[in-house]
Amino acid sequence: MRVIARLDVKNGHVIKGIHLEGLRKVGDPTDLAQKYYLEDIDEIFFMDAVASLYDRNGLFDIISKSCERVFVPITVGGGIRSLDDVEQALAAGADKVAVNSAAVRNLGLISEIAKRYGSQCIVGSIDAMRRDGAWEAYIDNGREPTDLNVVDWVKRLEDSGAGEIMLTSVDFEGTFRGYDLDLVFAVQDATSCPVVISGGFGKIEHLNKIFGLSQPSGLVIAGALHYNKVSIACIKDAVLNNLV
């Protein structure tokens, strides 16, 4: 089970909020990426938090600079709308790209990326919010509903060629009250793709509810690392002790 640091970036700064709103600055993305790398993080996920609003991706320079000091797999998301965007991300040093809004608007993009670069390169990113006993997929960094049922959507992403799913609970994101386990279980039951989960982690005890019931491919963690609530070493020890 991989431990993945998530860096949401806006205007050159790592930011953090609650339910993807109320964002505040927490640091420099390159410095934080190097810090987590030196602390033995397995992967780093960079997300441009406002790319879908302003029709651009501002991460390529940050990725390029980070790759001079960071030597773990890097995924970049936010503003990936075309094969040209994917090519620029990979040229900057990213290993994978994550697509959410653009996939909802053009599901064929997932197939195009998978065909050219391989399924291992494409992460289907889902921002999920609970609605009427189920979950609805949201786009534009959790701002816009889509009327897509998350469980149905994850199947379509897999069928289109996504090699991995990153699942974020908007309801739990930034709350430090643990993962939305019902959501995690529902999505894992619906796909054979590796699923990495994001949103809600705040303390080691939150992992106890996952071990034995579910085994996601990765834990995506942001605020708990940014605010020093728990160390990467403690998380990895908990993962090792429960999975070996």
Task: Enumerate the H helices of 106-215 as residue ranges.
Answer: 108-117, 150-160, 181-190, 205-208
Whether 180 sits among the annotated catalytic residues: the reply is no
Given the residues 127, 140, 171, 180, the one annotated as active site? 127
* pTM over 0.75, yes/no: yes
Reply yes or no on domain 2-243 having CATH 3.20.20.70.
Answer: yes
Distance CA 8, CA 17 (A): 10
Let me know if 8 is a catalytic residue. yes
Domain boundaries, the chain: 2-243
The CA-based angle 163-167-169, given to 5 degrees, is 175
* Amino acid, res. 121: C
pLDDT tens digits along 19-77 = 665 567 889 999 999 999 999 999 999 999 876 555 556 789 999 999 999 999 999 99
